[in-house]
Amino acid sequence: MYKFVTSNRHKFEEARDLASRHGIDIEWIQMKYEEIQDDSTERISYDSCKKLSGKVDPPYFIDDSGLFIEYLKGFPGPYSSYVSSTIGNEGILKLLEGVTNRSAYFLTVVSLNEGHSIMQFTGKVMGKISTSIMGSNGFGYDPIFIPDGSDRTFAEMDTSSKNAISHRSIAFRGLFEYLRANRISNK
């Protein structure tokens, strides 16, 4: 089984749904780990993945994600976790009160440690920040993010609808296609 190291149950459930569509089983390694502060999601993801070697046997992978709001020059971006646990969705809506440019995107960078090297898979979804909190599914910023082409927030969708379009699904599709194509040893 391939190991997904994350303390976030929602991330694991989304990934498991995607993995099963590729005929792949994944195992949840429920573990918190330290993240460096950096303005690049790629570097944060790479660094966290590397530091887990010695603690988790490869092959394993992690997911680092963030919400980037155009009007706020990309904030919260790499600070998404801190902002979510401090000012939260209400705080983001306050920062955007009366603002018409509500464009934003979600980015996921999955890092896979194969043992000898680290590979990355990226997914991005464009959308906008809603004017109120809508929906109760999902987690984090889901209740305030409306992906392009939809009139519902991610929190108003079930896992499979979110997975049909999300940043995470794009990154994980890349990972699972790579694992299948390269037949990475499935311990």
> Annotated catalytic residue: which of 64, 142, 148, 158?
64
Total residues at the site for ligand IMP (CB under 6 A)?
17
Applying CB under 6 A, does 47 fall inside the site for ligand IMP? no
Contact at 8 Å (CB) between 154 and 142? yes
Burial classification of residue 149, based on how many CB atoms lie within 10 Å of its CB (0-12 exposed, 13-18 middle, 19 or more buried): exposed
Pick one of 16, 42, 51, 81: the residue that binds ligand IMP (CB under 6 A).
81
DSSP H helical segments within the chain, as ranges? Answer: 9-21, 41-51, 80-86, 88-95, 159-165, 167-182
Question: What is the Cβ-side half-sphere exposure of residue 135, based on CA atoms within 13 angstroms?
Answer: 22
Residues 82-121, mask of contacts with ligand IMP (x by CB under 6 A): --x---------------------x---------------
Question: Of 185, 159, 179, nearest to 24 (Cα)?
Answer: 179
Least separation in angstroms between residue 37's CB and ligand IMP is 12
Structure tokens at 42: 């790629």
Q: Is 64 a catalytic residue?
A: yes
Residue of 28, 68, 105, 141 interacting with ligand IMP (CB under 6 A): 141
Position among 142, 163, 169, 176 found at the interface with ligand IMP (CB under 6 A): 142
Query: Which residues carry out catalysis?
Result: 64
